[in-house]
């Protein structure tokens, strides 16, 4: 029994509480320091799954493609993220549908703070934190190039800050919807990269990703405005109460603070869209330059293979002679 209790500490979420409902009692969870032990266990699980995907899927494909070192590293990165994002999108979609967060948008801010979480919501957040924390030692295990490390560290830090922030500030419902939108766009991007590495002439999935990216950005901005601008200011309990998990809803009652937050969100989304537009313009420019160079090369090859017209006969002292020695000119017949 002692070992079983210790094992449950690593495997299952802790801090379960029985919450009375109209139908009886419902077991829900809140967070605490013991969550770090559970996250540590799932970090090791994520490292094992990472190695399985790498060895049994990505390495076998890499042997067939014979990619360069740079493309090999990017292919491995995108392959791992495709598996993770696809799993997360399906799991997150299942959670938000079964919990009714999509069918009832008001639930994103009603009864804030959302201190008590269903089992699947808490377990999802713990696994997400474990995955992005496992990505730090994977930078060493995968022997990532030094030039790529700052970019990947930036990406990992952003995900950890956003996921941990939503988890600790009791904004888990909003965080689930935002993660679903973000992971959906990222899945199409890394899938497009995998297809491009296998066939460099196939860039159709990049166009699909571009549409999905713009749509998800618009939904993300709309959600921020809906929750921060209209939802949280209407919460009944506007007092600062850290013990109950109410950290900053009282701040959103101040219109100046609310407008400042919305302005920062809009500026951040605008910067993301600017980088996206810059990336698309550079890609289209490279595409058209490649197409024009191919056309010039094809035109030059056609001119070289075009047969040259040669005069029948040969030259003698600058005069063209026929093969039988006669002049090619037709002689005029004299009238008798």
Q: 16 phi and psi, to 5 degrees?
A: -80, 145
List, for residues 189-222, the tens digit of each pLDDT value. 999 999 988 887 777 888 899 999 999 999 999 9
Pair 259, 125: CB distance under 8 Å: no
How many C-beta atoms lie closer than 10 Å to residue 316's C-beta? 9
Say how many CA atoms lie within 13 Å of 238 toward its Cβ.
11
* pLDDT tier at 259, thresholds 50, 70, 90: confident
The DSSP string of 147-164 is TTHHHHHHHHHHHHHHHH
- pTM as predicted: 0.82
Q: 29 phi and psi, to 5 degrees?
A: -135, 155
**CA of 208: how far to CAs of 152, 191, 324, in Å?**
24, 10, 71
Cis peptide before 14 (omega within 30 of 0): no
E strands, 2-159, are: 16-21, 24-29
Look up residue 58 and give its DSSP letter.
Answer: I
SS3 315: strand
List, for residues 23-76, the tens digit of each pLDDT value. 778 889 999 899 999 999 999 999 999 999 999 999 899 888 888 888 888 899
| Residue 59 in tokens | 């390495």
List, for residues 124-156, the tens digit of each pLDDT value. 999 999 999 999 999 888 888 888 899 999 999
Partners of 314 in beta bridges: 321
Look up residue 12 and give its DSSP letter.
Answer: S
Using alpha carbons only, give the angle 130, 131, 137 rounded to the nearest 5 degrees.
95
């Amino acid at each position: 029994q002692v070992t079983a209790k210790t094992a449950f500490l690593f495997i299952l979420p802790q801090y379960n509480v029985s919450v009375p409902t109209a139908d009886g009692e419902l077991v829900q969870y809140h967070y605490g320091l013991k969550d770090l032990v559970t996250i540590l266990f799932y970090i090791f699980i994520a490292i094992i799954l990472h190695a399985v995907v790498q060895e049994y899927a990505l390495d076998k494909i890499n042997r067939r493609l014979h990619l360069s070192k740079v493309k090999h590293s990017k292919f491995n990165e995108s392959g791992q993220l495709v598996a993770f994002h696809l799993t997360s999108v399906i799991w997150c979609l299942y959670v938000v549908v079964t919990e009714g967060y999509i069918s009832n948008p008001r639930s994103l801010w009603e009864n804030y703070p959302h201190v008590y979480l269903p089992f699947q919501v808490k377990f999802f957040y713990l696994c997400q934190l474990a995955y992005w924390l496992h990505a730090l030692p994977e930078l060493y295990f995968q022997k990532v190039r030094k030039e790529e490390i700052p970019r990947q560290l930036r990406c990992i830090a952003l995900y950890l800050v956003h996921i941990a922030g939503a988890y600790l500030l009791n904004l888990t419902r909003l965080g689930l919807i935002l993660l679903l939108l973000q992971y959906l766009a990222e899945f199409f991007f890394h899938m497009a990269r995998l297809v491009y590495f296998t066939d460099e002439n196939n860039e159709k999935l990049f166009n699909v990703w571009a549409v999905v990216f713009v749509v998800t950005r618009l939904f993300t901005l709309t959600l921020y405005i809906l929750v921060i601008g209209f939802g949280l200011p209407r919460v009944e309990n506007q007092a600062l109460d850290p013990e109950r998990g109410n950290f900053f809803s009282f701040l959103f009652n101040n219109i100046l603070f609310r407008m400042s937050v919305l302005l920062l969100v809009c500026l951040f989304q605008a910067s993301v869209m600017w980088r996206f537009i810059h990336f698309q313009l550079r890609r289209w420019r490279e595409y058209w330059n490649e197409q024009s160079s191919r056309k010039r090369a094809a035109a030059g090859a056609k001119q070289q293979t075009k047969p040259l017209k040669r005069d029948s006969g040969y030259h003698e002292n600058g005069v063209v002679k026929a093969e039988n020695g006669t002049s090619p000119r037709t002689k005029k017949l004299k009238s008798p």
